[in-house]
Amino acid sequence: MDLVLASTSPWRRTLLEQAGVPCRGEAPDVDERSVTAAGPTELACELALRKARSVARRFPDAWVLGADQVVHLGDRVFH
């Protein structure tokens, strides 16, 4: 079964490949600025979930990995 990374980040893909995990990256269709959450950790989790779901709709027979990070200082999130 194929592994599809729900990201076009070359860094995430390189991390996986260096760990011996072959994958391909696909751009998710997610408007990141429209997503809100209670805090930065919840926001990163919600973004990762939405990205994975977006890509999984296009690749229903593959494993899809969603990931995200959020830069923040206290409760202030920097986009």
pLDDT at 1: 76
- Tokens standing for residue 54: 């977006």
Residue 31 designated active-site: no
Residue 44 Cα distances to 11, 41, 47, 73, angstroms: 17, 5, 5, 14
pLDDT digits (tens, 9 = 90+) for 48-62: 999 999 999 999 999
Cα atoms in the 13 Å half-sphere on the side-chain side of 76: 2
pLDDT at 30: 95
Please give the Cα distance from 5 to 49 (Å, whole number): 12
pLDDT in tens, the chain (79 residues): 799 999 999 999 999 999 999 999 999 999 999 998 889 999 999 999 999 999 999 999 999 999 999 999 987 888 7
Q: Which of 29, 31, 61, 68 is catalytic?
A: 68
